[in-house]
Amino acid sequence: MRIILFFLFSFYNFYLYSQSTDLKNEYKLTNKYFKEKKFNEALSSNEKALKLSLKEFGLTHLTTATLLENKGRLLLELNEYKDAEMQFREVLVIRKSLIDNYNPDIAEALNYLALSLRKQNKLKEAITEHNKVLNIMSNVIANNPGQISELSRRSALYRARAYQTKGQLLITEGNYSEAEGNFNIAEKIFERTLGNNKKELELLKVEIEKLKEKIN
């Protein structure tokens, strides 16, 4: 079941500075395939857009970083978790060289990195990245009171993912009671923050219930 991606963000949280018609067309085509869940086709179109971005802007540019992040997200959908991890690490290097470290886009990349690590059962590493995300979002919220509603929503979803990963780690340690408590907290947060997104909420509940089955 594919429920990896965070739907609070548009697939195209994109810094489209390009004037290239070809790049924009590949960008739109990738989005179309993504919405249709044609992930291999989306990956192919994204690769074309990425090559065009590298030619126009080079590696150290926000457009290139976003296309690399989208590549990582598509690799997650295709169960290529190690390759996805490599993409997210590269995104972080680029973004940290261009924007402040306490930026929601840094948190977003770290969140995806944590998910890729979790899918590889590198749970302790994933929790370390989750904690970085939550630290960044706390700082961002404190310094952007005018955007607190949306930023708080993002932070809550990140926190739910952290509880979910922590629950998985506790299962491996045999601490089933505490694991279930973490899953219950994650589910409640998802219910509060994904209220209108019924499909996404149901998919997340299914994932958590499958994890709870390991406890029983």
Q: Output the DSSP codes for 47-88.
A: HHHHHHHHHHH-SSSHHHHHHHHHHHHHHHHTT-HHHHHHHH
Within the chain, all domains assigned CATH 1.25.40.10 are found at: 21-98
DSSP 136: H
Summarize the confidence of residues 133-141 as an average pLDDT. 92
In a 13 Å sphere around the CA of 172, the CA atoms on its Cβ side amount to 9
Rounded CA-CA distance 154/165 in Å is 17
Average pLDDT over residues 176-191: 87
Q: Say yes or no to pLDDT of 194 above 80.
A: no
Residue type at 216 in one-letter notation: N
Cα separation, 127 vs 114, whole angstroms = 7
Reference 140, options 112, 105, 103; nearest CA is 103
What is the pLDDT, as a whole number, of residue 11? 47
Between 135 and 17, the higher pLDDT residue? 135
Expressed in angstroms, the distance from the first to the final Cα of the chain is 21
Asked whether residue 214 carries a pLDDT value surpassing 90, the answer given is: no
Non-local CB neighbours of 134 within 8 Å, separated by 6+ positions: 155, 158, 159, 162
Q: What is the pLDDT of residue 2?
A: 39
Say what the pLDDT of residue 71 is.
96
pLDDT at position 109 is 96
Provide the pLDDT for residue 88. 98
- What pLDDT is recorded for position 111? 95
What's the pLDDT band for 212 if we cut at 50, 70, 90? confident
Q: What is the mean pLDDT of the chain?
A: 85
Q: What's the pLDDT tens digit per position in 58-114?
A: 999 999 999 999 999 999 999 999 999 999 999 999 999 999 999 999 999 999 999
Contacts 24+ apart (CB under 8 A), 24-27: 26/52
Question: Residue 197's pLDDT is what?
Answer: 59
Rounded to 5 degrees, what are φ and ψ at 128?
-60, -45
pLDDT band at residue 17, thresholds of 50, 70 and 90?
Answer: low
53 or 191, greater pLDDT: 53
d(CA 138, CA 104): 10
Q: Which residue has the higher pLDDT, 183 or 110?
A: 110
What would be the CATH architecture of the domain defined by 21-98? Alpha Horseshoe (1.25)
Q: For residue 35, give every residue at least 6 positions away whose Cβ sits within 8 Å of its Cβ, in sequence order, or none.
A: 11
Weakest mean pLDDT among 11-15, 51-55, 106-110, 141-145: 11-15
The model's pTM is 0.85
Q: Is 10 a residue whose pLDDT tops 50?
A: no
pLDDT at residue 204 is higher than 90:
no
In the block, tokens 């219950």 appear at 184
Q: Which whole number is the average pLDDT over 22-48?
A: 93
> Which residues contact residue 6 at a Cβ distance below 8 angstroms, ignoring those fewer than 6 apart?
108, 111, 112, 157, 161
